[in-house]
Amino acid sequence: MKRGTAYELIQTLYPDDVKCIVCGREIRPNRYGLCNTCQLEINGNFCMRCGRHKVGIGDFCDECSEMPLYFDEARSAVNYVGHAKELVHRLKYGSARYLAKTLSRYMLDVLLLEDWDANCITFVPMHKKRRRKRGYNQAELLARELSEKTNLPCLDLLEKTRETVNQAKLDRAARMENLNGVFAVTANPPRSVILIDDVMTTGSTVNECCKTLKKAGAATVYVLTFASVPESPLLDNNGQNIADFRR
């Protein structure tokens, strides 16, 4: 029996999405593993460069102008708020590796809408000490799930050469300095690469990875994450969203 046929039979007899991945309530099996109550905030109205949810009506967010970008385009499936934050936290710190299968489906939906001509998928690496402690790299889990779904090879192209301070504790400038020169290639990248991570916060991590890949010869690097932190609105002195006045 072919692998695909066997997998479909097992899924029919023993579906793996019979409980909501957020609240645990029994549900009718569905592609996203969620009940009607526990929905995620899909990333609409996104910046055409960094892919995060933007607050203005233009094509680009204000945050893209604050740093040089080495990726060609970035996209994310959902906004990093509410249940999405909970799911990412469980995937990263709660040993919930099984979530990578479901979260990658959201990412696949985004990928299928983009006209990205890529040769492979790769992922943001972890330092070997942290990986040993956690037991896995959540970005790699997502990348390998997407590789199976797209038939694009998943290549281990990057390594993190030294441990760094937790990015969550730093501001944007400190994040960039913290990551400067911290990644290295383990193999020559192909012409076009899709880089996978779980969350884009400021974009400093994926940006440094893309910089490294391009220095090593990649012509095009795209970024795809499960979630991204939405752009913060710029307010005037009266608390009015400045983007409301922009064209």
pLDDT digits (tens, 9 = 90+) for 83-98: 999 999 999 999 999 9
Contact 146, 109 (CB under 8 A): no
Single-letter amino acid code for the residue at 184: A
How many whole angstroms separate alpha carbon 203 and alpha carbon 52? Answer: 10
Mean predicted confidence (pLDDT) in 98-102: 95
Domain architecture of the chain: domains with CATH: 1-39 (no CATH), 42-245 (3.40.50)
pLDDT in tens, 20-70: 999 999 998 888 999 999 999 999 899 999 999 998 888 888 877 777 899
Q: Which helix (H) or strand (E) holds 120?
A: strand 120-123
- As beta bridge partners, residue 194 has 121, 222
Q: CA 56, CA 42: separation in Å to the nearest integer?
A: 17
For the chain, percent of residues with pLDDT exceeding 70? 81
Predicted local confidence at residue 180, as pLDDT: 76
Note the helical H segments in the chain. 3-13, 83-93, 99-113, 128-134, 138-150, 172-179, 204-215
Mean pLDDT, the chain, rounded, equals: 86
For residue 125, the one-letter residue type is: P
